[in-house]
Amino acid sequence: MKTQVAIIGGGPSGLLLARLLQTRGIESVVLERKTKAYVLGRIRAGVLEQGLVSLMEQAGCADRLHAEGIIHDGTLISYGDEMFRINFTEHAGKPVMVYGQTEVTRDLYSALEQSSAPIVFNAEDVVIQNADTDKPHVTYVVDGKANHIDCEFVAGCDGFHGVSRQTIPIEVRREYEKVYPFGWLGILSETPPVNHELIYANSPRGFALCSMRNENLSRYYIQCSLNDKPENWSDDAFWHELKRRIPADQANKLVTGPSIEKTIAPLRSFVTEPMRWGRLFLCGDAAHIVPPTGAKGLNTAASDVHYLYNGLRDYYENQSSEGIDTYSAKALSRVWKAERFSWWFSSLMHSYPDQSKFDQKMQIAELEFLRSNKAAQQAMAENYVGLPY
């Protein structure tokens, strides 16, 4: 097989890149290690920046997003029984969109399949060869049969545990990581959200988040120990603990019900540099991880796709390599700002095992400053809705 861009990973970033390239007549092949059903079964983020919405529009995949997505003009932050609102449209001039990552992926699959774009599922033993030359190729196995793709570029969109980052020699990579001393226990329930906007809660008992996927599907999280297990938590125990971490007036109107999913996710911040090696480019979780507190994971992957798509388009349409040559620097500049915001917001909202009484007082002081200071609210709003590309 021969193509212009081999894309490793059939999640949202790989699919979005493939679809955008397709709109410009640039050929690609997507290799996904799992099945389509497995990819669509992953319940992930649900807050989209306008930059990602715009990319979906460019890809011709935004009709359902606009019909079913929920526009959020702000978010709520609580500490104890106190609660205040950050107004995104007032302070940053634009809202965010609540629309599940699974639905973004579904829309992209639909568009690519309707146009018969090549997507290979169950691609195992993927190896990226000669990425540091002008003739890279990719080998992989499906159903025991070896396959080979000659390509001009490789986009590594295969996540933190994928092969793409590991293909870059260790002596070339510089990696930065912070592992947080807690996780998030999350449940999904077919219940109406407790509030029409997200609630981020700082509580002496630990962080909590009240989120949603739609008007009848809610997503709730509570901070937990890294050693905890989902099976240690009954639904009743989860609901009881959540109510203790959010303001009483919100807890009183919380609609509970059976969970349809229950998981624990560890939190980490991670960045690898550079995001390009020869003709291999890293996108999304292959290059960086953020704690989910700031809703930046999927959105930062989208900004990578924006830079790479435009660089490849300029290469093929204008015979200019400037976009791909500056890809890593441009992407990393924005990535580090998203990492800073996610780290700051996580530090503000969570209880830490080694936290002193002084540290707790500092958290409350910063929350009260954020509540009362318009400049602080503007800075948060601008970061939350997404910095410009």
Q: Give me the active site residues, please.
A: 72, 200, 292, 296, 384
Structure tokens at 9: 């990973």
User: Could you give the CA distance from residue 18 to residue 55 in angstroms, rounded to a whole number?
Assistant: 12
User: Could you give the CA distance from residue 178 to residue 180 in angstroms, rounded to a whole number?
Assistant: 6
What is the 3 state secondary structure string of 271-297? EEECCEECCEEECHHHCEECCHHHCCH
| Residue 59: φ, ψ to 5° | -80, -5
Coil, strand, or helix at residue 236? helix
Q: How far is CA 375 from the centre of its chain?
A: 27
Start-to-end CA distance of the chain, whole Å, equals 34
Q: What is the DSSP secondary-structure string of 344-373?
A: HHHHHHS--TT--HHHHHHHHHHHHHHHH-
Q: How far is CA 8 from the centre of its chain?
A: 17
Judge whether 86 and 377 are in contact, CB under 8 Å. Answer: yes
Q: How many CB atoms lie within 10 A of CB 356?
A: 9
> Radius of gyration of the chain from Cα atoms?
21
| DSSP E strand boundaries for the chain | 5-8, 28-31, 47-48, 70-72, 74-79, 82-87, 96-98, 119-120, 124-129, 137-142, 145-150, 153-156, 174-189, 199-202, 208-214, 217-224, 259-273, 276-277, 280-282, 288-289
User: Could you give the CA distance from residue 88 to residue 381 in angstroms, rounded to a whole number?
Assistant: 5
User: Could you give the CA distance from residue 380 to residue 368 in angstroms, rounded to a whole number?
Assistant: 14
Structure tokens at 374: 């318009």
